């Protein structure tokens, strides 16, 4: 039987094209991080994501080909997954349309919202949580969890999203722990969609160990919260994260 309703949208050609763009942007983030860390140079990046095979250009004061060669062979091991086919080059010219980390993930979040918010919002009207993940090979995985709960093994992905039945799109203690582990594994952004809103936890810069432990502490704080006021006080600690931004729309 063919897929219907919101699930059909997740299987559409447009959804698959969008997944490739999101994967291209995620790869750009990690390529930029690797290049800066390995060379000690400041750089920017221009992801050309609309073609079947993404092409990513690194802009730096000095191009070090050896770093790019090692990067191509190392990145799949770093991310723990096979990658979409892509090409990368370096240029010592300056391009006004190149991005830095925060701009990459803002664009990724916008692209995700434009294509996947609508079907996930429709799925959030049931009493079963649904999940969606976009892998580093640009494949879309989706499914259902238990009533009011999604339990998944940690899988390498660019983005992960799940629905909350009801009105709240704010994270639980379990969600916050999951986010810490997901970002530590190389994920770029995590989304929670409910009937009334969508929350986004995204990287603004390469994920720091300090923020990993802060997220773990926020999770413990949420678990201990005995009132809405306590919960919101825990959530306000998100503003102290240096490499991660939490927002609700």
**pLDDT tens-place string over residues 69-89:** 999 999 999 999 999 999 999
Q: For 247, how many CA atoms within 13 A lie in the half-sphere containing its CB?
A: 11
The mean pLDDT value for 191-203 works out to 96
In a domain, residue 172? The reply is yes
Do 98 and 185 reside in the same domain of the chain?
no
pTM above 0.85, yes or no: yes
Do 136 and 214 reside in the same domain of the chain?
yes
The mean pLDDT value for 97-116 works out to 96
Do 239 and 129 reside in the same domain of the chain?
yes
Residue 130 DSSP symbol: E
Do 85 and 126 reside in the same domain of the chain?
no
Do 51 and 132 reside in the same domain of the chain?
no
- CATH number of the domain where residue 158 is located: 3.40.140
Tell me whether residue 60 is exposed, middle or buried, using C-beta atoms within 10 angstroms of its C-beta: 0 to 12, 13 to 18, 19 or more: buried
Residue 79 in tokens: 């991310």
Dump pLDDT digits (tens) for 19-74: 999 999 999 999 999 999 999 999 999 999 987 889 999 999 999 999 999 999 99
- CATH number of the domain where residue 35 is located: 3.30.70
Do 58 and 93 reside in the same domain of the chain?
yes
Do 69 and 130 reside in the same domain of the chain?
no
In a domain, residue 6? The reply is no
* For residue 3, pLDDT beyond 50: no
Q: Note whether 195 and 121 are within 8 A (CB).
A: yes
The Cα 234–Cα 218 span in angstroms is 6
In a domain, residue 206? The reply is yes
* For residue 8, pLDDT beyond 80: no
Where a domain ends, among 54, 78, 102? Answer: 102
Do 119 and 212 reside in the same domain of the chain?
yes
Where a domain ends, among 102, 133, 156? Answer: 102
- Bridge partners of residue 46, in order along the sequence: 57
Do 121 and 90 reside in the same domain of the chain?
no
In a domain, residue 5? The reply is no
Secondary structure of residue 71 in the 3-state scheme: helix
Structurally, the chain folds into a number of domains equal to: 2
In a domain, residue 57? The reply is yes
Average pLDDT of the chain, as a whole number: 91
* For residue 240, pLDDT beyond 60: yes
Bridge-based pairing of strands 55-60 and 244-248 is unpaired
In a domain, residue 107? The reply is no
CA torsion, ordered 36, 37, 41, 43, to nearest 10 deg: 10
Do 94 and 128 reside in the same domain of the chain?
no
Q: Which residues contact 103 (CB under 8 A, 6 or more apart)?
A: none
Do 76 and 119 reside in the same domain of the chain?
no
What is the per-residue pLDDT for 1? 34
What is the per-residue pLDDT for 2? 42
Where a domain ends, among 102, 129, 164? Answer: 102
Bridge-based pairing of strands 128-134 and 140-147 is antiparallel
Bridge-based pairing of strands 55-60 and 87-91 is parallel
Provide the residue range defining the domain that includes 223. 113-248
Confidence of residue 149 (pLDDT cuts 50, 70, 90): low
In a domain, residue 7? The reply is no
In a domain, residue 8? The reply is no
User: In which residue are the tokens 């999940």 written?
Assistant: 131
Do 132 and 170 reside in the same domain of the chain?
yes
């Amino acid at each position: 039987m063919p897929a219907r309703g919101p699930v059909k949208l997740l299987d559409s050609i447009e959804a698959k094209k969008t997944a490739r763009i999101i994967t291209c942007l995620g790869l750009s983030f990690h390529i930029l991080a690797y290049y800066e860390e390995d060379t000690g140079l400041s750089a920017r990046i221009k992801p050309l994501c609309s073609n079947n095979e993404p092409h990513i250009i690194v802009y730096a004061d000095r191009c070090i080909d050896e770093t790019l060669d090692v990067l191509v062979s190392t990145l799949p091991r770093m991310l723990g997954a096979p990658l979409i086919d892509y090409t990368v080059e370096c240029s010592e010219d300056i391009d006004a349309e190149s991005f830095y980390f925060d701009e990459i993930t803002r664009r990724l979040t916008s692209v995700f919202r434009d294509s996947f918010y609508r079907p996930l919002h429709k799925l959030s009207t049931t009493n079963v949580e649904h999940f969606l993940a976009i892998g580093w090979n640009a494949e879309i995985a989706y499914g259902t969890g238990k009533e009011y709960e999604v339990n998944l093994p940690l899988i390498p992905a660019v983005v992960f999203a799940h629905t909350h039945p009801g009105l709240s799109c704010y994270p639980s203690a379990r969600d916050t722990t999951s986010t810490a582990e997901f970002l530590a594994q190389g994920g770029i952004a995590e989304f929670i969609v409910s009937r009334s809103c969508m929350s986004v936890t995204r990287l603004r810069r390469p994920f720091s160990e300090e923020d990993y432990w802060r997220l773990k502490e926020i999770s413990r704080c949420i678990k201990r919260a005995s009132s809405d006021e306590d919960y919101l006080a825990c959530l306000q600690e998100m503003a102290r994260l240096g490499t991660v931004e939490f927002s609700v729309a």
